């Protein structure tokens, strides 16, 4: 059973927002005292957080689906729904988060670093929040939104100062066990180490971490052995240590050929690193130390003497050590400590992320109308954050809620854009992306005085009359109305005197 996983595909989903409530308050002697439906609660977020006690992604290998809790529903008497709890997922230090396309979203370094992987949906408004002077007692509420859902790729790149690289059975695990408190599995057969091991080395004023990278073989950069799976763990190191087996049992191997093979694999892998990784010191230009291990054995001592002069031409420290007898380990710990301190001092000062302001364009309406083919005919798709969100919040089983949506779309200017795009009453309109769009036959909103509309929609001859009557014109109009009223009274009096009584109701109908 696996105990270490450094790459997983994680499917995360934020909690859904709670629906708003449609309720009317009832009081004594006042059965309809106004709306009191409360809002639904917001759904919880899914958050990744770097945790010092987490060293593997194994938990998400077994449970790749993670969802936060949803928000509570709103209730009457202004009782708002509870907010959903955030789901905090611990990840190891050095975890890189990528989207489905391989784009790096965040590089999580440092204990306590957080990243919101999926946001919870907003809660729906209750009818109390929807009340206005025009709509005093709404008989509907808005629905809560679904939480964000997406697939993320998590890759663990070990955060270590020193990386031990070399062939299988070169003694890397024995070396890290001798220099630190780490206790990796050690045996006398190749590929004993199947996972990277971390150890902390303390030497006087120096303190740094060492990573034991599982054994590399020729072709590791193309996927052979375990190399390609674990080469990513050396990307962040400051110092490379080549551990060479000076007492190799194979007749076709020697420290020099081993060193050339490993350097070739590292060079191929370094060329494949992305630009972000190359903002650090290039992998092949980082400080290097060559360690001739197993020099406590006679064969190891002889081999070290043979290759030491040829290795001296590389102008890098070459040390004879023995993980068993602890020969040369103290000197090695100080050499590595000095190189790590120099590399840390050369690191650039961290710069705060620039604040990017993206103002809204002057002509940005917040949506757009595109024409496309749908069921063999022409359809008009409305795309935009606001229209799509409003559709998701609408309860289409409630006619009043549908009318409220129509009013919001008309106020936003969707109808005008549909007319400009060539839509006519009865045209197919879609709101939303892909197959999740809401489809309906469009009927324009009717306004009072529509019979006076001339030409294109929005023109009204009543709006073209800008004449304001003068005071004399107002007085003349008042005298005319008074004279007409007196004439009607005189006619009614004459009819009364002549004995003819008119029924006002029938008279009005005759007129």
Q: How far apart are CA 365 and CA 350, in angstroms?
A: 39
403 annotated as a binding-site residue:
no
Q: Which region among 92-106, 117-131, 407-421, 437-451 has the lowest average model confidence (pLDDT)? A: 437-451
426 annotated as a binding-site residue:
no
157 annotated as a binding-site residue:
no
Closest CA to 244 of 314, 177, 169: 169
193 annotated as a binding-site residue:
yes
How many percent of the chain have pLDDT more than 70? 82
167 annotated as a binding-site residue:
yes
What local confidence, expressed as pLDDT, does residue 123 receive? Answer: 94
29 annotated as a binding-site residue:
no
295 annotated as a binding-site residue:
yes
Per-residue buried b or exposed e for 381-407, using 16+ beta carbons within 10 Å of the residue's own CB: bbebeebbebbbbbbeeeeebeebbbe
Sorted by sequence, the CB contacts under 8 Å of residue 89 that are 6+ apart come out as 46, 47, 48, 49, 60, 66, 117
Beta bridge pairs of residue 493? none
Q: How far apart are CA 3 and CA 184, in angstroms?
A: 13
172 annotated as a binding-site residue:
yes
pTM of this prediction?
A: 0.66
206 annotated as a binding-site residue:
no
Closest CA to 179 of 52, 105, 289: 289
Tokens at 226, concatenated: 């375990």
Average pLDDT over residues 408-420: 88
322 annotated as a binding-site residue:
yes
170 annotated as a binding-site residue:
yes
Average pLDDT over residues 433-440: 83
What local confidence, expressed as pLDDT, does residue 353 receive? Answer: 59
115 annotated as a binding-site residue:
no
What local confidence, expressed as pLDDT, does residue 266 receive? Answer: 81
Model confidence at 350, pLDDT cuts 50, 70, 90, reads low
Tokens at 98, concatenated: 């990528």
329 annotated as a binding-site residue:
no
Model confidence at 69, pLDDT cuts 50, 70, 90, reads very high
195 annotated as a binding-site residue:
yes
Q: Which region among 89-98, 181-190, 301-310 has the lowest average model confidence (pLDDT)? A: 181-190
Check pLDDT > 90 for residue 143: yes
From residue 225, alpha-carbon distances to 164, 172, 215, 220, 273 in Å are: 17, 17, 8, 6, 20
Measured from the Cβ of residue 419, the count of other Cβ atoms closer than 10 Å reads 15
Model confidence at 156, pLDDT cuts 50, 70, 90, reads confident
43 annotated as a binding-site residue:
no
35 annotated as a binding-site residue:
no
Cβ 300 vs Cβ 294: under 8 Å: yes
Residue at token pair 């905090």: 88
Cβ 107 vs Cβ 81: under 8 Å: no
321 annotated as a binding-site residue:
no
Average pLDDT over residues 12-24: 94
Per-residue buried b or exposed e for 176-208, using 16+ beta carbons within 10 Å of the residue's own CB: bbbbbebebeeeeeeebbebbbbbebebeebeb
223 annotated as a binding-site residue:
no
Beta bridge pairs of residue 163? 211, 240
Strands 288-293, 318-320: pairing kind: parallel
What local confidence, expressed as pLDDT, does residue 460 receive? Answer: 45
What local confidence, expressed as pLDDT, does residue 48 receive? Answer: 95
What local confidence, expressed as pLDDT, does residue 64 receive? Answer: 93
Q: Where are the beta strands (DSSP E) in 22-179?
A: 46-50, 65-67, 87-91, 95-98, 104-108, 114-118, 149-156, 162-165
323 annotated as a binding-site residue:
yes
Tokens at 296, concatenated: 């406590």
Phi, psi of 244 (to 5 degrees): -110, 135
Check pLDDT > 50 for residue 53: yes
Q: Which region among 26-35, 215-224, 460-469 has the lowest average model confidence (pLDDT)? A: 215-224
Check pLDDT > 80 for residue 85: yes
Closest CA to 81 of 44, 30, 42: 42
324 annotated as a binding-site residue:
yes
168 annotated as a binding-site residue:
yes
Q: How far apart are CA 400 and CA 406, in angstroms?
A: 10
Closest CA to 167 of 213, 211, 227, 215: 215
Per-residue buried b or exposed e for 332-345, using 16+ beta carbons within 10 Å of the residue's own CB: bbebbbebbbebee
Sorted by sequence, the CB contacts under 8 Å of residue 342 that are 6+ apart come out as 287
Residue at token pair 């004993």: 192
Across the chain, mean pLDDT equals 80
What local confidence, expressed as pLDDT, does residue 459 receive? Answer: 44
- Name the more confident of 44 and 343: 44
Cα angle: 87, vertex 90, 94; to 5 degrees: 135
Cβ 18 vs Cβ 144: under 8 Å: yes
296 annotated as a binding-site residue:
yes
Q: How far apart are CA 20 and CA 143, in angstroms?
A: 6
- Name the more confident of 397 and 350: 397
């Amino acid at each position: 059973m696996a105990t270490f996983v450094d790459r997983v595909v994680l499917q995360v989903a934020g909690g859904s927002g709670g629906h708003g409530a449609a309720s009317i308050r009832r009081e004594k002697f006042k059965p309809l005292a106004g709306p009191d439906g409360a809002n639904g609660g917001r759904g919880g977020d899914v958050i990744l957080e770097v945790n010092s006690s987490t060293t593997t992604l194994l938990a998400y290998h077994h449970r790749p689906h993670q969802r936060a809790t949803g928000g509570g529903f709103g209730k009457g008497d202004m009782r708002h729904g509870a907010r959903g709890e955030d789901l905090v997922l611990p990840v190891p230090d050095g975890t890189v988060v990528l989207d489905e396309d391989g784009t790096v979203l965040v590089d999580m370094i440092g204990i306590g670093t957080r990243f919101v992987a999926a946001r919870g949906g907003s809660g729906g408004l209750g009818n109390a929040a929807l009340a206005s002077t025009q709509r005093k007692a709404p008989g509907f509420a808005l629905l809560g939104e679904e939480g964000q859902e997406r697939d993320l790729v998590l890759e663990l790149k070990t955060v270590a100062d020193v990386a031990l690289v070399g062939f299988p059975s070169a003694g890397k695990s024995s070396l890290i066990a001798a220099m630190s408190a780490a206790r990796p599995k050690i045996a006398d057969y190749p590929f004993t180490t199947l996972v990277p091991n971390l150890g902390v080395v303390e030497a006087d004023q120096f303190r740094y971490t060492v990573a034991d990278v599982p054994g590399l073989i020729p072709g590791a950069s193309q996927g052979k052995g375990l190399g390609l799976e674990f080469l990513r763990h050396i990307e962040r190191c400051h110092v490379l240590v080549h551990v060479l087996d000076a007492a190799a049992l194979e007749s076709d191997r020697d420290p020099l050929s081993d060193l050339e093979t490993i350097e070739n694999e590292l060079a191929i892998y370094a060329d494949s690193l992305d630009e972000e990784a190359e903002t650090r010191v290039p992998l092949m230009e980082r400080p290097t130390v060559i360690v001739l291990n197993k020099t406590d054995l006679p064969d190891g001592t002889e081999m070290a003497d043979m290759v030491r002069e040829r290795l001296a031409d590389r102008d890098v420290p070459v040390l004879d050590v023995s993980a068993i007898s602890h020969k040369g380990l103290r000197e090695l710990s100080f050499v590595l400590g000095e190189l790590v301190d120099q590399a840390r001092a050369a690191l650039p000062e961290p710069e705060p992320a620039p604040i990017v302001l993206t103002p809204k364009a002057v002509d940005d309406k917040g949506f757009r109308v595109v024409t496309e083919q749908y069921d063999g005919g022409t359809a008009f798709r409305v795309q935009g954050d606001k229209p799509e969100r409003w559709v998701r919040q609408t309860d289409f089983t409630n006619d009043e809620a549908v009318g409220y949506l129509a009013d919001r779309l008309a106020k936003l200017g969707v109808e005008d854009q549909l007319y400009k795009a060539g839509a006519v009453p009865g045209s197919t309109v879609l709101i939303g992306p892909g197959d999740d769009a809401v489809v309906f036959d469009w009927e324009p909103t009717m306004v009072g005085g529509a019979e006076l509309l001339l030409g294109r929609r929005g023109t009204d001859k009543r709006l073209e009359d800008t004449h304001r009557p003068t005071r004399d014109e107002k007085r003349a109009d008042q005298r005319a109305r008074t004279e007409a009223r007196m004439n009607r009274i005189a006619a009614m009096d004459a009819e009364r005197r002549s004995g003819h009584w008119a029924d006002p109701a029938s008279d009005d109908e005759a007129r």
